[in-house]
Amino acid sequence: MPTETAPRAFGEKGRRDTRQRRALRDHLAATDAFTSAQQVYDDLRASGDRVGLATVYRTLQAMADAGEVDTLRTDDGETLFRKCGPRHHHHLVCRSCGVTIEIDGPSVERWASKAADDHGFSDVTHVVELFGLCPACTKAAG
């Protein structure tokens, strides 16, 4: 337990419930697409909430550390955030509009675990994400 200097997540004692965090939390709860920090910042400003960009980054990062949001890296290096369900799951993400479906895959979990064991690797985690075009974007793309 090192001395904590980083901003605390919503679930920890000592945190403060600020206007900015409420705005962020509400915004995340209202969309199911993976969204970049920059995009969240723009959305908040557009809806009249005054929140600094640094605060958006800080808070999203804190929420990610606390497991309150899932993260995803795009090909061009942007980190996307999304408020997801509590169970372990993976994502089927539309690469055009970001709309996301949570999917689970017990067979994948088993496969990953077995591969790790077979090769003597320890402390193994996995990254499993599916990217495609959602029905709406498929139609729009002709």
Which residues are near its own copies by CB under 8 A? 73, 77, 92, 94, 101, 103, 105, 107-108, 111-112, 115-116, 119-135, 138
Q: Which of residues 58-117 bind DNA (CB under 7 A)?
A: 58-59, 61, 77-79
Of 38 and 113, CB closest to DNA: 38
Contact 81, 38 (CB under 8 A): no
3-class SS of residue 118: helix
112: partner contacted, choices DNA, its own copies, Zn ion, none (Cβ within 5-8 A by kind): its own copies
Among 53, 66, 84, 116, binds DNA (CB under 7 A): 53
Contact 72, 91 (CB under 8 A): yes
126 is an annotated ligand-binding site residue: yes
| Other residues' Cβ atoms within 10 Å of the Cβ of residue 70 | 20
DSSP code per residue over 47-74: TT----HHHHHHHHHHHHHTTSSEEEE-
53: partner contacted, choices DNA, its own copies, Zn ion, none (Cβ within 5-8 A by kind): DNA
Give least dist CB 127 to its own copies, A: 5
| CA distance linking residue 72 with residue 67, whole number of Å | 13
Of 8 and 89, CB closest to DNA: 8
